Amino acid sequence: MKDVIKELVDIDEQAKKYNEETKKQKEALENQIDEEVKQIHDRYMANAKVNAEAQKKQIEKENLEKFQANEAKRKASAEKLQKKFDENADKWVNEIVEDILK
């Protein structure tokens, strides 16, 4: 009977030891998973930041090109208007004066 009790105590101790080892392995795996998730998240965020910067630079470049094109059009229009004014200012003044004097 003592042998049976001793064997049961030994089996119980082995089961406890196995449970502790399993619990430690579980905790280690959970920690490993947490670390891998963090690494994946960090890589994803770093890639997203790089992509966002690249998109920002592309948008800034496109906006600058649009601005420069609009500025060139504005200058061309201003020059055209100034040329028309220079060519016709005296004529327009004379027409206005004639219309007033009629």
- d(C-alpha 91, C-alpha 98), whole Å: 10
Taking the CA atoms of residue 33, residue 35, residue 39 and residue 42 in that order, the dihedral angle to the nearest 10 degrees is 110
Task: Tell me the pLDDT tens digit for each residue of 52-90.
Answer: 999 999 999 999 999 999 999 999 999 999 999 999 999
Domain boundaries, the chain: 1-72
Q: What is the pLDDT of residue 102?
A: 78
Q: What is the pLDDT of residue 69?
A: 97
**What's the whole-number mean pLDDT along residues 24-42?**
97
The yes-or-no verdict on residue 29 having pLDDT over 80 is yes
Task: Tell me the pLDDT tens digit for each residue of 4-18.
Answer: 888 888 898 999 999
Q: What angle do CA 32, 51, 60 make, to 5 degrees?
A: 155
How far does the chain reach from its first CA to its final CA, in angstroms?
Answer: 140
State if pTM tops 0.75.
no
The yes-or-no verdict on residue 19 having pLDDT over 90 is yes
